[in-house]
Amino acid sequence: LMLRAALFRGRRSLLILPFVSICSEKLSYLRQIWGPVGLRVDGFFSNVSTTSGGMHPGVDVGICTIEKANNMLNRMLEDGVAKDLGLVVVDELHLVGDSSRGYMLEMILLKLRLLQQAGRLASDFQIVGMSATLPNVQAVASWLGAQLYQTSFRPTALDYFVKIGGHITDAHGTEVRTLPPAPREDKEHCAMLAWDVMKHGQSVLMF
């Protein structure tokens, strides 16, 4: 959508991400794939920004944190270039309910909606929100005046298993494996189960 906004509509885009680490990763990735087609992607988070507050006229896509997004929007309004903005993409939209940062994201979205209704943004301006865990998704869509799109597609399969003692069952409660007695230093079989995954070249995340 951001690529289409730049190439076919001549509009600039903002991608709002929750954390600096994700911003940095996405900035590197989009520069790599869009740089060859002449699109300029710039970062506005931490101390990465190359401009003071707003988007340089040559930037097609700005990647920013929630806090920086508010500052950038205010600066674009002050500079009279808000109508250049054609798309704002908000990842992890469920953070609108976060007790510490939710108010800022809500303020940004409300500001964009009011500006759009007042005709101070482009006539084809869009807000795209994404979340995998938003509970009241229909209510949020109505608040944003948005069309709701839901999908269960995953790029990789996700299988659930439950370990009870030395037995592993699938999501339906059917036993799929019995573990050997646990050694004294690994009473919960954690090391054993992790190694079963790692020996196939895969990664393990443990909580």
Q: How far apart, in whole angstroms, are the C-alpha atoms of residue 197 and residue 179? A: 15
CB 90 within 8 A of CB 126: no
Confidence of residue 52 (pLDDT cuts 50, 70, 90): low
Q: How far is CA 196 from the centre of its chain?
A: 31
The predicted structure's pLDDT at residue 53: 55
Sign of the alpha-carbon dihedral angle for 141, 147, 150, 153: negative
pLDDT digits (tens, 9 = 90+) for 15-41: 999 999 999 999 999 999 999 999 999
Q: How far apart, in whole angstroms, are the C-alpha atoms of residue 184 and residue 187? A: 6
Confidence of residue 187 (pLDDT cuts 50, 70, 90): confident
Q: Is the pLDDT of residue 197 over 70?
A: yes
CB 141 within 8 A of CB 130: no
Query: Which amino acid, 61?
Result: V
**Helix, strand, or coil (residue 38):** coil
Helix boundaries (H) for 56-189: 66-78, 102-117, 137-144
Confidence of residue 54 (pLDDT cuts 50, 70, 90): low
pLDDT digits (tens, 9 = 90+) for 98-120: 999 999 999 999 999 999 999 99
CA atoms within 13 A on the CB side of 117: 8
Average pLDDT over residues 190-203: 89
Confidence of residue 55 (pLDDT cuts 50, 70, 90): confident
Average pLDDT over residues 150-171: 88
- Beta-sheet pairing, 61-64 with 12-16: parallel
Task: Write down the pTM of the prediction.
Answer: 0.79
The predicted structure's pLDDT at residue 48: 64
